[in-house]
C-alpha cells in the first residue's frame, strides 16, 4: 500500500505532504508517479550533505582523501545498508514482477529509494531541515572512517604500482556470477603480464570483486618484492 497521513514518518521526519513520501517509496515497476525524479534530486543532495560533513570534520584532509571517503559513503551498497537500517524495503511499493523477484531486498532498489526519500524531505521542508534529518543516518558511517580520510582503493594502488614501473596495466576477467537476484556473488580474475601474475577475488558486485582481486594481486607483488 502507498503511504498515508498515518504513516508519513521516516526516521523521525513527519512529512507535511505525505504524497511526497508515497512517491519516494514507489518503484517505477508499480507505475506513476514513481521515484526516479526524486532519486535524481536526492542523489545530488546526499553528495552535498556528505561532502559538507567531511569538509567540516576533516580540516586537514586533502581533496583526494575526501573524494575517496565520499565515494565510500554514497556508493550503492552503503546507501542500501542505511536503507535497511531504516527498514525501507518493507515500505517500498513494487510491481508484481519486482515483488516476486525480491526487489525489496535488492541494493539498487534500496539505494534509489533512500535517495528519493532524501529528495522528498528536501521538497517537504527545505535544505536545512533535510540536512538535519539525513545526517544522523550517515553519522555512524562517517565516524567509522579513519580520521582524515581513507587510503586509495586496491585497483588504483595496483595501477599506480605498474605505471611507476612502466609496465602494462592489469586486465580483469569475469569468471562467474551467481546467487539470488538480491544477493549476487561475482568472481573475477586479475591478470598481469609484467610480471606474469594472476589473482582472483569475489564480491557482491563486479566492482567489489575486481577490488578484491586487485588486493590479492598487490599482496602477491609485496610478498615477492617484484
Res. 104: pLDDT tops 90: no
Report, as an integer, the average pLDDT of 181-210. Answer: 88
* Per-residue model confidence as pLDDT tens digits over 170-188: 999 999 988 776 667 899 9
Residue with cell 595496483: 158
Architecture of domain 154-224: 2-Layer Sandwich (3.30)
* Per-residue model confidence as pLDDT tens digits over 106-139: 889 999 999 999 999 999 999 999 999 999 999 9
What pLDDT band is residue 6 in, cutting at 50, 70 and 90? very low
Res. 190: pLDDT tops 90: yes
Q: Is 115 annotated as a binding residue?
A: yes
Q: Indicate which residues carry an active-site annotation.
A: 43, 115
Q: Do domains 5-143 and 154-224 have the same CATH topology?
A: no
What pLDDT band is residue 153 in, cutting at 50, 70 and 90? confident
pLDDT of 4 reads: 46
Q: Please give the CATH number for the structural domain made up of 5-143.
A: 1.10.1520.10
pLDDT of 149 reads: 61
Quickly count: other Cβ atoms within 10 Å of residue 223's Cβ: 8
Please say whether the beta carbons of 60 and 148 come within 8 A. yes
Burial class, 4, CB count within 10 angstroms (exposed 0-12 / middle 13-18 / buried 19+): exposed
* Per-residue model confidence as pLDDT tens digits over 19-64: 999 999 999 999 999 999 999 999 999 999 999 999 999 998 888 8
| Residue-by-residue DSSP string for 100-133 | HTTGGG-HHHHHHHHHHHHHHHHHHH-HHHHHHH
Residues contacting residue 219 through CB under 8 Å, at least 6 positions apart: 199
Res. 3: pLDDT tops 50: no
**Domain segments of the chain as ranges:** 5-143, 154-224
Q: For the range 66-69, what are the long-range contacts, defined as Cβ-Cβ under 8 Å and sequence gap of 24 or more?
A: 66/149, 68/149, 68/150, 68/151, 68/152, 68/153, 69/142, 69/145, 69/149, 69/150
Q: Is 39 annotated as a binding residue?
A: yes
Q: Is 112 annotated as a binding residue?
A: yes
Phi, psi of 124 (to 5 degrees): -75, -40
Amino acid at each position: 500500500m502507498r503511504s498515508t497521513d498515518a504513516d508519513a514518518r521516516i526516521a523521525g521526519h513527519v512529512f507535511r505532504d505525505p504524497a511526497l513520501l508515497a512517491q519516494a517509496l514507489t518503484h517505477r515497476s508499480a507505475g506513476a508517479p514513481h521515484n526516479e525524479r526524486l532519486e535524481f534530486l536526492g542523489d545530488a543532495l546526499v553528495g552535498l550533505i556528505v561532502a559538507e560533513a567531511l569538509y567540516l570534520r576533516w580540516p586537514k584532509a586533502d581533496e583526494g582523501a575526501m573524494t575517496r571517503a565520499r565515494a565510500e559513503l554514497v556508493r550503492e551498497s552503503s546507501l542500501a545498508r542505511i536503507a535497511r537500517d531504516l527498514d525501507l524495503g518493507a515500505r517500498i511499493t513494487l510491481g508484481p514482477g519486482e515483488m516476486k523477484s525480491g526487489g525489496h531486498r535488492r541494493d539498487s532498489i534500496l539505494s534509489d529509494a533512500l535517495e528519493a526519500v532524501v529528495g522528498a524531505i528536501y521538497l517537504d521542508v527545505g535544505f536545512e531541515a533535510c540536512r538535519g534529518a539525513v545526517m544522523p543516518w550517515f553519522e555512524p558511517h562517517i565516524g567509522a572512517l579513519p580520521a582524515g580520510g581513507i587510503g586509495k582503493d586496491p585497483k588504483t594502488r595496483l595501477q599506480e604500482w605498474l605505471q611507476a614501473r612502466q609496465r602494462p596495466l592489469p586486465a580483469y576477467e569475469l569468471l562467474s556470477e551467481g546467487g539470488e537476484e538480491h544477493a549476487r556473488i561475482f568472481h573475477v580474475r586479475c591478470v598481469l603480464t609484467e610480471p606474469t601474475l594472476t589473482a582472483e577475488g569475489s564480491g557482491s558486485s563486479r566492482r567489489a570483486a575486481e577490488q578484491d582481486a586487485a588486493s590479492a594481486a598487490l599482496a602477491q607483488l609485496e610478498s615477492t618484492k617484484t
